[in-house]
Amino acid sequence: MRHALLAFAGFAAIVAAAQPASAQSRWWADPMNQPEMQYLDEDGRAQASPVPRQTVSFSARYAPGTIVISTSERRLYFVTRPGEAVEYGVGVGRPGFEWSGIKQVSAKRERPSWTPPAEMLQRRPDLPRYMSGGPDNPLGARALYLGSSLYRIHGSNEPETIGQAVSSGCIRMTNEDVIDLYSRVKVGAKVVVLD
């Protein structure tokens, strides 16, 4: 067993040495052990949120696995156990695009493609009609789809918008945070959006 571990460690070192130095430091960015190199900043670092992710005390009335979004606080809480949640900073809908209610996570996508809804195309006819997943896609590294609505919880390639009211109703997170949330959330999870 020890020989097998040493052989694996040697193989891993050879693979790491074959990668560019910038790629070696990025390997940890994806919890699925898939490099997320295209979602890192120009210095090769994971996009840091202006609102640090942290574990906090939280209302025990929400069941573990529930997502609670406070649009007024611009925070998303993923309930990990009774009375405790992981807190993330988020960007929310700008004036006129706010909403609240209860939804369910109906689907999860890695590196999602994006088709702007008709309502958005009416406001912004300059937008592309379709974008495949990747570093330029406005949905970022991951997306959680909320029921049959047009809304999603998704990554963003504009981490400076976290903590702001700038979206068309979707909940934005940094790519680093949405990758973390994605790894925790199950399809069917309850999502409570509060004013």
71 is a domain residue: yes
Q: Evaluate whether residue 58 is within a structural domain.
A: yes
Q: What is the CATH number of the domain that holds 117?
A: 2.40.440.10
In a domain, 35, yes or no: no
Q: Please give the mean pLDDT across all residues of the chain.
A: 81
Inside any domain, residue 33: no
Q: Is the dihedral of CA 143, 161, 85, 62 positive or negative?
A: negative
Judged by DSSP in three states, 55 sits in strand
Domain holding 72, by residue range, is 54-194
Determine the Cα–Cα distance for residues 68 and 66; give it in Å rounded to an integer: 6
pTM of the model: 0.74
170 counts as catalytic: yes
pLDDT tens track for 76-111: 999 999 999 999 999 999 999 999 999 999 999 999
Angle CA 50–54–58, to nearest 5: 120
pLDDT at position 69, please? 98
- Look at the chain and report how many structural domains it folds into: 1
Which of 3-7, 31-35, 37-41 ranks highest by mean pLDDT?
A: 37-41
111 Cβ partners below 8 Å, 6+ apart?
133, 134, 137, 141, 142
Is 16 domain-assigned?
A: no
In a domain, 43, yes or no: no
Residue 67 lies in a domain: yes
CA angle at 159 for the pair 24 and 62, rounded to the nearest 5°: 100
Q: Which two tokens stand for residue 73?
A: 């606080």
Q: What is the mean pLDDT of residues 143-164?
A: 94
Is residue 6 included in any domain, yes or no? no
Catalytic hit among 162, 170, 178, 191: 170
Q: Which of 53, 111, 142, 154 is catalytic?
A: 154
